[in-house]
Amino acid sequence: MSHGLTAASTHAFDVQAGADLERPSRRGWRGRSREWRAVTAAIEAAQRSRGAVLLVEGQAGMGKSRLLSDAVEAAAARGFMLAHGAADEPSRLAPLVPLMTALGESPQTLREGLDTTAETADLRLRLLERLQSRLEERAAHGPFLIALDDLQWADPTTLLALRSIVPELASYPLVWILARTTGIAESDADRVFEILAREGAARIVLEPLSDRAVGEVIGDVLGAAPGPELLEMTAATGGNPFLLVELLHGLQDENAVRVADGQVTLVSRQLPRRMQEIARRRLGRLCPRTRHLLQVAAVLGRSFRVDDLAEMFDEPPSRLLPALEEAESAAVVAAAGDQLTFRHELLWQAVTETVTVPVRHALHRQAAEMLLRRGGSAIPAAAHLMHYARPGDGHALRGLDQAVREVLPSSPESAADLAVRALELTMPGDPDRVDRTVTAVYALTTCGRLPEAADFARTAIGQAPHPGQAARLRSELAYALLLAGRPADAAAEAEQALAQPDLTGDKRGLAEQVFLRALYATHDFRRGRELAEEIIDSGRRHDRAAQVGARMLFSYIAWGDGQAAEGISHVREAVRIAPRDDASAGRVHPRLHLATLLTDMRRLEEADAQLNQIAAEIAEFGQSAYAATPAIFRARLRLAEGRLDDAAAEAQAGLAVAEQMGTNAFMLLGLAVLVAVAVRRGELDAAAGHAQRYEERYRAGTRLGNAWARWPLATLAEAREGPARAFEILRPVCADLNERRWLLMSEPDAAAWLARTALAAGDRPSAEAVAVTAEQLARDNTGFTALAAAAAHARGVLRGDRVTLAHAAATHPSPWGRASAAEDLGVLLAGSRGHVDDDAAIEALDRALEGYQRIGALRDAARIRARLRRLGVRRRHWTQAERPLSGWSSLTETERNVAVLAAQGLTNPQVATQMFVSPHTVKFHLRQVFRKLGIASRVELARLATEHASEPPSSEA
């Protein structure tokens, strides 16, 4: 099953419109066209409880809107729930308008009850969560069709919603038909359509009409087959249905065609006019007042309110009635809910083009002033402000500033565009220029456009008239660089900001926090120690943001010194100092760091609880720059637990969110987890692919997570090229006490592996250094089982000590560590020639095999089976012996639990709550369930779950 759509549904809707399409225009799409067959197949699939996604693309006038309209009518006739909406250029600054309008709600209703204070940076996560929940509730009640048109104009938050929600709801009877116009301008919708197509959505590309289809359209419109001269003339339309029909109606109106002997012939050989000329001719038949009214309406947008139009003319709506009736009778506009809309985008554009640019700008200005005078939201006016404003226009700038503040929480991308435009309109000497630059950098940082944010900040720093203003900009630049995973650059900028005495208050506190955070990310612990001591000693003279940074730096210093209890104590204090409702103090998320240290020490239950809490806080307070981190850090936790499938699911989900949000800070960590998982599974080509992505990201400047990641990369090198190459990667770690101590504190399981690899590479002194360091850490941290077991394991490998290896195999808190120690014990007992204590060796190796197989470490398990064969013992592959590849009995215990809960009607988040896992993990297991069962919907799952309800659970693999 492909992610998002099942293989069956993808095959059913694999549609590419060709040159031989049959597209009767007057009858709409309801004929024998391949496009319409795709639509009806999708609707029929939803009636069988299967979802579908259709992506409709083509140039303006190719019939996309009619196809969507016909699809909505067909679905309505079958009792579907319906949502039909469209985007347009004037409203693209307003977040989620197309989706919410289609659902019959206002975007404001989605935000009810959410904290929209200035401390809230980004509400997108909460909005998408609520939107998905509402859609899921509706789709759970039966077939549901959502048709969205003109997505080339969609706002960034709508596109983000489609990118994330469409695959999430694939198992519901939900049909998405998403349309966009191509060939007008590059749009973010291009990337969303590409992503959904890779997920399994079917693409319908509306190509120009074939000669056969053109003949059928002529027959529909003119009532007879076309003659050769008419066909020659209609060829000038390029097969565009809208232009073709307009041309045919124009020929009719001018009596330029006649029907004789069952064939349409030309009376006049005049060449066809282009679309704008057709529109001008249609407008030319209207009275001057109606023409002027439509020109002003076109400036307001493709859809417009009559009240707005009346106010533009400074007249009551009743005075406009005759002109509006004439426009409707001429098929220029039509009613659409509580608005009027131009019947076609090409017609709207053509009317707009009849207004000269200076007049158009003046009308945009009038519209903006009208909307701003009303008070309330400045977002509607902002679309007009973007068009007409001139540099130094204070009224326009104030309106843009207000719009930025409004839209930032729910659409940082739109806010960034507005803020950049406001900055472009601000004169160099304007006293508000620095504030607007800071706002633009902040908005760009929030929406993940980090290189752009850095460029704006650097340019503005050189132009800032006062050192204090430059320092403010450097603080924002430092934070952007930190989020980009470039801590060394972030530290340099923050240090320069702190050198300015004019930087005071919360701005200094944030700069201190970023500076200290960047230092411990680069392992430059000592450099900021004096500042951290001063911050802690002075207490309340420094704000909480600085105190949090200081505590976290001391935590890392303690970790580097091998003092686990002290390190955890410092970060617990940082969590206490930064309460949930203090966004500034929590900007670096000390709770996330606490979860990391607890994972290091294999206190996994508490680490999991901390990650769950930080995920809730990130969503609640809109800190989407860290949206990917809970999943990425949970992936490493799942790896430590030996849950390889869950680790991969979390890592992939976290990396996907990082790409969506444009924040790459911890991508190295997620990619390293995928490397480790793939190596343990024996999927070395996949591991190499993840490692290549890792190297690309590292070369691009990302550094966070690199220290721990060296170990998984070394295990890949050992698997592909042998221990010598692996030890070459980690030789600098083994040679430096501080680096060696740091790695063994961060990854206790690496101690024995490092010692074994050094011995295999012929470097016994390095192996001894690793073992000595591991033992020292165990002595200094007596309350931490992970360090004690790691030390025993490393000592047993180095000295060939079966007692310490047996102790490690019994006490390792991680499943992989226990299996690894049992393997080393079995190898030791077998002896170099396999004749020493074979029974005990076989027992130890069997324990190792069981441990590896239980967590899915297939490469390690294969190595154990090979060792057992050398001892004369054959063991079958566990999964082949015990579990079929498909059907209900193929499900693991976890998969079965997910399946049963989902079959009861629970959503993925509800299943996650019941099972104490994340929704990412549930989604991964549900995909596995659907694949193994050969199904695509929750209805089918419910039926199978009922049939197999009495069967006992299978053993976990």
Q: Per-residue pLDDT tens for 600-657?
A: 999 999 999 999 888 877 776 666 677 888 889 999 999 999 999 889 988 988 888 8
Residues 151 and 192 in one domain: yes
Report which DSSP code applies to 151. Answer: G
Tell which of 242, 272, 302 closes a domain. Answer: 272
213, 184 Cβ separation under 8 angstroms: no
852, 861 Cβ separation under 8 angstroms: yes
Residues 225 and 161 in one domain: no
Does 293 map to a domain? Answer: yes
Does 407 map to a domain? Answer: no
For residues 192 and 183, give the distance between their C-alpha atoms in angstroms, rounded to a whole number: 16
Higher pLDDT, 12 or 442: 442
Does 91 map to a domain? Answer: yes
Listed range (319-333, 379-393, 781-795) with the worst mean pLDDT = 379-393
Pairing of strands 333-336, 81-86: unpaired
Question: What confidence category does residue 545 fall into, taking pLDDT thresholds of 50, 70 and 90?
Answer: confident
Residues 71 and 141 in one domain: yes
Q: Which residues pair with 175 in a beta bridge?
A: 52, 145
Residues 130 and 262 in one domain: no
Angle at 473 between CA 470 and CA 478, to 5 degrees: 120
Q: Span 703-718, mean pLDDT?
A: 86
Closest CA to 758 of 776, 783, 740, 738: 740
For residues 53 and 39, give the distance between their C-alpha atoms in angstroms, rounded to a whole number: 10
Listed range (299-308, 498-507, 705-714, 737-746) with the worst mean pLDDT = 498-507
| 3-state SS class at 264 | strand
For 519-545, the DSSP string reads: HHHTT-TGGGHHHHHHHHHHGGGS-HH
Residues 6+ apart with CB under 8 A from 459: none
Q: Span 913-923, mean pLDDT?
A: 78
How many angstroms separate the Cα of 221 from the Cα of each of 100, 235, 266, 347, 348?
37, 16, 15, 19, 23
Structure tokens at 473: 């900009």
550, 516 Cβ separation under 8 angstroms: yes
For residues 548 and 570, give the distance between their C-alpha atoms in angstroms, rounded to a whole number: 9
Residues 134 and 229 in one domain: no
Q: What is the pLDDT of residue 880?
A: 39
Question: What confidence category does residue 19 fall into, taking pLDDT thresholds of 50, 70 and 90?
Answer: very low
Q: What is the pLDDT of residue 310?
A: 93
* Domain CATH code at residue 899: 1.10.10.10
For 567-607, the DSSP string reads: HHHHHHHHHHHS-TT-TTGGGG-HHHHHHHHHHHTT-HHHH
Pairing of strands 257-260, 263-266: antiparallel
Pairing of strands 303-304, 263-266: unpaired
Give the highest mean pLDDT range of 184-193, 410-419, 876-885: 410-419
Residue 267 has a CB neighbour count (10 Å cut-off) of 11
Q: Span 517-537, mean pLDDT?
A: 80
Residues 335 and 291 in one domain: yes
For residues 674 and 652, give the distance between their C-alpha atoms in angstroms, rounded to a whole number: 8
pLDDT score of 827 more than 60:
yes
Phi, then psi, of 86 in degrees rounded to 5: -155, 155
For residues 721 and 726, give the distance between their C-alpha atoms in angstroms, rounded to a whole number: 8
Q: What is the pLDDT of residue 270?
A: 56
Q: Span 894-918, mean pLDDT?
A: 83
Report which DSSP code applies to 833. Answer: T
For residues 381 and 400, give the distance between their C-alpha atoms in angstroms, rounded to a whole number: 8
Closest CA to 140 of 903, 652, 921, 711: 903
Range of the domain at 708: 644-882
- Helices and strands per DSSP (H, E), number in the chain: 49, 11
Residues 172 and 246 in one domain: no
Report which DSSP code applies to 54. Answer: E
Please name the helix (run of DSSP H) or strand (run of DSSP E) that holds residue 473, with its range, or none. Answer: helix 467-483
Q: What is the pLDDT of residue 808?
A: 95
Phi, then psi, of 945 in degrees rounded to 5: -65, -40
Give the highest mean pLDDT range of 70-84, 262-276, 524-538, 583-597: 70-84
pTM: 0.73
Question: What confidence category does residue 15 fall into, taking pLDDT thresholds of 50, 70 and 90?
Answer: very low
Residues 37 and 154 in one domain: yes
Strand ranges in 291-411 using DSSP code E only, listed in sequence order: 303-304, 333-336, 339-342
Q: What is the pLDDT of residue 807?
A: 95
Query: What does pLDDT average to over the chain?
Result: 83
Single-letter amino acid code for the residue at 459: T
For residues 302 and 189, give the distance between their C-alpha atoms in angstroms, rounded to a whole number: 19
Higher pLDDT, 784 or 435: 784
pLDDT score of 3 more than 50:
no
Residues 95 and 121 in one domain: yes
Tell which of 355, 386, 402 closes a domain. Answer: 355
| 3-state SS class at 58 | strand
Does 233 map to a domain? Answer: yes
pLDDT in tens, 202-258: 998 887 777 888 888 888 888 888 888 888 777 767 677 777 887 787 787 777 888
Q: What is the pLDDT of residue 170?
A: 87
Residue 311 has a CB neighbour count (10 Å cut-off) of 18
Does 455 map to a domain? Answer: no
Residue whose structure tokens are 């199978």 = 944
Residues 146 and 281 in one domain: no
Higher pLDDT, 221 or 820: 820
Q: Span 677-686, mean pLDDT?
A: 94
Pairing of strands 52-58, 174-181: parallel
Residue whose structure tokens are 């013992």 = 873
Residue whose structure tokens are 């499943």 = 815
Does 920 map to a domain? Answer: yes
Residues 283 and 267 in one domain: no
Q: What is the pLDDT of residue 879?
A: 45
* Domain CATH code at residue 677: 1.25.40
Tell which of 831, 866, 882 closes a domain. Answer: 882
For residues 476 and 506, give the distance between their C-alpha atoms in angstroms, rounded to a whole number: 12
Closest CA to 45 of 935, 946, 923: 935
pLDDT score of 138 more than 60:
yes
pLDDT in tens, 74-110: 999 999 999 998 888 777 888 888 888 888 887 777 7
Does 541 map to a domain? Answer: no
Residues 6+ apart with CB under 8 A from 118: none
CB burial of residue 79 (10 Å; 0-12, 13-18, 19+):
exposed
Pairing of strands 144-149, 174-181: parallel
* Domain CATH code at residue 148: 3.40.50.300
pLDDT score of 585 more than 50:
no
Q: Span 379-383, mean pLDDT?
A: 85
Please give the radius of gyration of the chain, using alpha carbons only, rounded to the nearest integer: 33
For residues 298 and 363, give the distance between their C-alpha atoms in angstroms, rounded to a whole number: 10
Residue whose structure tokens are 């790896």 = 639
% of the chain exceeding 90 in pLDDT = 29
| 3-state SS class at 62 | coil
User: What number of residues does the chain have?
Assistant: 957
Residues 6+ apart with CB under 8 A from 782: 788
For residues 554 and 551, give the distance between their C-alpha atoms in angstroms, rounded to a whole number: 5
Closest CA to 453 of 705, 195, 601, 662: 662
For 763-795, the DSSP string reads: -HHHHHHHHHHHHHHHHH-TT-HHHHHHHHHHH
Residue 559 has a CB neighbour count (10 Å cut-off) of 25
Pairing of strands 339-342, 303-304: antiparallel
pLDDT in tens, 390-447: 888 888 888 888 888 888 877 888 888 899 899 888 888 888 888 888 889 888 888 7
Closest CA to 588 of 504, 490, 497, 464: 490
Pairing of strands 144-149, 257-260: unpaired
Per-residue burial over 298-307, b if 16 or more Cβ lie within 10 Å, else e, is: bbbbbbbeee
Does 490 map to a domain? Answer: no
Tally of CA atoms within 13 A in the half-sphere of 284 that contains its CB: 7
CB burial of residue 666 (10 Å; 0-12, 13-18, 19+):
buried
Phi, then psi, of 103 in degrees rounded to 5: -85, 0
Q: What is the pLDDT of residue 274?
A: 43
pLDDT in tens, 277-330: 666 666 777 888 998 999 999 999 888 999 999 999 999 999 999 999 988 888
| 3-state SS class at 145 | strand
Q: Which residues pair with 340 in a beta bridge?
A: 304, 335
Residues 6+ apart with CB under 8 A from 818: 808, 809, 810, 812, 851
Residues 6+ apart with CB under 8 A from 794: 751, 752, 754, 755, 770, 771, 774, 775
Domain count, the chain: 5
Structure tokens at 727: 């030890």
Question: What confidence category does residue 181 fall into, taking pLDDT thresholds of 50, 70 and 90?
Answer: confident
| 3-state SS class at 253 | helix
Give the highest mean pLDDT range of 37-51, 77-91, 177-191, 786-800: 786-800
Angle between helices 764-780 and 750-760 (to 10 degrees): 160
Residues 268 and 302 in one domain: no
pLDDT score of 700 more than 80:
no
For residues 615 and 199, give the distance between their C-alpha atoms in angstroms, rounded to a whole number: 26
825, 796 Cβ separation under 8 angstroms: yes
